[in-house]
Amino acid sequence: MKTVFERPQSLVDTSFHFCPGCHHGTIHRLVAEAIDEYKVRETTIAAASVGCSVFLYDYFDIDVVESPHGRAPAVATGIKRANPDKFVFVYQGDGDLAAIGTAEIIHAANRGENITVIFVNNTVYGMTGGQMAPTTMLGQRTTTSPYGRDFAQDGYPIRMTEMLAQLEGVGYAARVAVDSPAHLGKARKAIMKAFATQIENRGMGFVEVLCTCPTNWGMGPIEANKRIAAEMIPYFPLGVYKERTGSDFM
């Protein structure tokens, strides 16, 4: 009998703590597949961030250091500069990367740090219980935007991938989703490319993944999954925003 589907080797055989319908588990799997594909499990050091994804050290069979909130790109800079032979990635949510850690991600990107960044955007602070994030959609009700996000009060949702793609230090930048089989395939490809970008020393590889948060959106898993295409993708367009082939990197 031929095996057609199995757990990636770099994922630990345990249950995720994530809520039903949350995409984090799927995204973890895609990252694990990339670790397996490039055979970097034994040389990987990840910097975990603060939020629901902090527990990645329980799910990936790799070395992990935990970072203060928002600082993972700086922690990863320290790891990679002192250990250029290691594969280094960070996995951050929108509160972590796009609010408290804005300076760290922009400057790590601008320095062209050879690290891979998985940015999970679910438009809300998950772990702290559903507060407004910088990526919260206009009109979206959260526990700290009870009347819905109002641009006059809170500004517009921030588009990080477009912003970072402008920086010369970024070798690859893409926004993907995992809400359908077609999108999943593209997401897998983008994460693979962000890994290859680091391995080939082409600067930061950055992938934003649009993600559900059924619990804090007050939705069931199916309804939450539908919201990705209905509300998020029109404002956060999917696609590859930057792809450096190598020769144009100063």
Q: Binding marks (x or -) toward other proteins, 43..82, rule CB under 8 A?
A: xxx-xx-----x--x--xxxxxxxxx--x--xxxxxxxxx
SS (H, E, C) the chain: CCCCCCCCCCECCCCCCCCCCCCHHHHHHHHHHHHHHCCCHHHEEEEECCCHHHHHHHHECCEEEECCCCCHHHHHHHHHHHCCCCEEEEEEEHHHHHHHCHHHHHHHHHCCCCCEEEEEECCEECCCCCEECCCCCECCCECCECCCECHHHHCCCCCHHHHHHCCCCEEEEEEEECCCHHHHHHHHHHHHHHHHHHHCCCCEEEEEEECCCHHHHCCCHHHHHHHHHHHHHHHCCCEEEEECCCCCCC
Q: How far is the CB of 83 from other proteins (least distance, A)?
A: 5
In whole angstroms, the minimum distance from the beta carbon of 247 to other proteins comes to: 25
CA distance linking residue 164 with residue 144, whole number of Å: 27
* Minimum CB distance to other proteins, residue 219 (Å): 27
Scanning 42-50, 158-166, 190-198, 231-239 for contacts with other proteins by CB under 8 A, the matching segment is 42-50
- How far is residue 7 from each of residues 10, 36, 90, 95, 123, measured CA to CA in Å? 8, 11, 21, 29, 29
70: left (phi over 0), alpha (psi -120 to 50) or beta: left
Which residue's CB is nearer to other proteins, number 119 or number 217? 119
> Of the two residues 94 and 113, which places its CB atom closer to other proteins in the complex?
113
Strand partners, 242: 173
> 96 or 179: whose CB is closer to other proteins?
96
Which residues in the 214-233 window bind other proteins by CB under 8 A? none
Decide if residue 16 touches other proteins (CB under 8 A).
Answer: no
Give the contact letters, 81-100, x = binds to other proteins (CB under 8 A), - = no.
Answer: xxx--xx-------------
104 binding other proteins? (CB under 8 A): yes
Q: Is 15 in the site for other proteins (CB under 8 A)?
A: no
Residue 19 or 233: the one with the smaller Cβ distance to other proteins is 19
CB of 87 vs other proteins, minimal distance in Å: 8
Nearer to other proteins, 40 or 176 (CB): 40
Supply the minimum distance, in Å, between the C-beta of residue 106 and other proteins: 8
Q: Which two tokens stand for residue 12?
A: 């630990």
Q: Which is nearer to other proteins, 109 or 165 (CB)?
A: 109
Q: Does 103 bind other proteins (CB under 8 A)?
A: yes
Residue 125: CB minimum distance to other proteins, A: 17
Binding site for other proteins (CB under 8 A): 41-45, 47-48, 54, 57, 60-68, 71, 74-83, 86-87, 103-104, 106-107, 111
